Amino acid sequence: MRFQGYTDEWEKNRASKLLNFFTTNSLTWENLNYDSGKIQNIHYGIIHKGLPTITDTNIETIPFINSDIKIKNYTLCKTGDLVFTDASEDLDGVAKVIELQNVNTPIIVGLHAIHARDVSNIMVNGFKGYVFSAIPFRKQIYRLSVGTKIYSINSRNFNDVNISIPSKEEQSKIANFLLLIDKKIQTQSKIIEELKSYIFKLNKNIILSVEGEIKNLYELAEIYQPQTISNSKMNDKYKYFVYGANGIIGKYHMFNHKSE
């Protein structure tokens, strides 16, 4: 799919030649807080928890480093910088990326994250996060990820990854279009969360107001738990996807659900 009027081939580039990588810290949640501090810190956990692909640092909540923690060597983030997660329990979580926008305060990158900066000047702000979230990049990451219980990558893996880049004008059109959709998703998600909260409170009040007989779940329903499939039994050559708590974690030679 292309915007009308664009026909030029996208230029293939080695990812490592487009990006510079910086050392990150290893601060844990115990070293961070959401109340106050001089420097904010992007912990990989907040990326996994759902920071948007294009993260506006003026809007999104990023924790501070505790005042008693001293960081000697660090690189401050700039608008347009990328932050990738370097580890996850499932493949979809490896190299999950955010692109930082409107960086006006001191922010650094922390535990289990890769801090990258575009040095090529061929990508526009707002496009980078989307191109590094796209399926062609993700498939290459799946192949490079290593581990059994935890999948991981490092900055050296970007030497083996290629991405294709269109003209800056087409990049801008793509980025603006996808950002509009992301904003609609965020707005809708807030509405959904508010409705869930309303249903929970309503349901609680209804149930508390009714007197009745207490039943155990096994008396009302058939309890079923699928077998646990170890990573050693999964293989990408197999046909059927295996889902874990956070998404697809591998493939297996048989299935146990015929429908969604």
The domain that contains 157 carries what CATH number?
3.90.220.20
**pTM, 2 dp:** 0.76
My answer on whether 176 and 230 are in the same domain is: no
Is residue 206 in some structural domain?
no
My answer on whether 25 and 104 are in the same domain is: yes
My answer on whether 153 and 25 are in the same domain is: yes
My answer on whether 28 and 118 are in the same domain is: yes
What is the residue range of 234's domain? 223-252
Q: Which two tokens stand for residue 202?
A: 């309503």
* pLDDT for the residue 191: 95
* pLDDT for the residue 230: 85
Question: Which residues, including other chains, have CB under 8 Å from residue 10's CB and lie 6 or more apart?
Answer: 164, 165, 166
Map tokens 């499932």 to a residue: 90
Distance CA 235, CA 253 (A): 8
Is residue 100 in some structural domain?
yes
Local confidence pLDDT in tens for the 260 residues of the chain: 899 999 999 999 999 999 999 999 999 999 999 999 999 999 999 999 989 999 999 999 999 999 999 998 899 999 999 999 999 988 889 999 999 999 999 999 999 999 999 999 999 999 999 999 999 999 999 999 988 778 999 999 999 999 999 999 999 999 999 999 999 999 999 999 999 999 999 998 888 888 788 889 889 998 888 888 888 888 989 999 998 888 888 899 999 888 87
Is residue 128 in some structural domain?
yes
Is residue 257 in some structural domain?
no
Nearest to 114 by CA among 138, 159, 83, 140: 83
My answer on whether 228 and 123 are in the same domain is: no
